[in-house]
Amino acid sequence: GPGFFGPLHHPLPMTLRAHSRWGSFYADERLLPMLEPAADRLGPDGWAVLERVADRCRDGHFDDDDVPARLHGDLWSGNVMWTPAGAVLIDPAAHGGHRETDLAMLALFGFPFLDAVREGYGDVHPLRAGWPDRVALHQLYPLLAHVVLFGAGYARQTIAAARAALAS
């Protein structure tokens, strides 16, 4: 069935169809469904840049041999609650995806202990070489969601992230 992303008063559908490759999943289930509702705010140039990213994803440019990871799906500092017993994650948009995605989402709006989280993650399952170059790629879906939900103020950042993804 469908998943959802975003606030309860305006949830965005989030399809959960399985794909054999991450790139086709990301293009067809995350990026392209957001282009239509974001079109007026992105403009034709922004649309074109994001379509090129989706094409490169679909062509396998960003694929690797990592198995899909269970993702929180909306992991930003507001969805991490600190308790005396440790961190608690709330409000998930859980799905299987690329393991760099949640880390990129944490970096998108700032996270107070991001370096420690990355270090701990790397101790358990080291990130692949070049992962910093792919952060912008993994931030595109939440950025597009912010364009749709909150307006054109996120369009410039989204287009810049798409250009950075194309450069990687």
Which residues does residue 82 pair with via DSSP β-bridges, in sequence order?
Answer: 87
The residue extents of the domains of the chain are: 3-167
Strand pairing report for 3-5 and 12-14: antiparallel
Contacts of 118-126 spanning 24+ positions with Cβ under 8 A: 125/99
Question: What does the CA dihedral 28, 49, 104, 60 come to, rounded to 10 degrees?
Answer: 50
Q: What confidence tens digit (pLDDT) does each residue in 122-158 have? A: 999 999 999 999 999 999 999 999 999 999 999 999 9
Choose between 15 and 123: higher pLDDT. Answer: 123
Mean pLDDT of 94-110: 93
Could you tell me which CATH number the domain at 3-167 has? 3.90.1200.10
Interior angle at CA 125, CA 89 and CA 110, nearest 5: 45
Q: Which residues are catalytic?
A: 74
Q: What confidence tens digit (pLDDT) does each residue in 49-80 have? A: 999 999 999 999 999 999 999 999 999 999 99
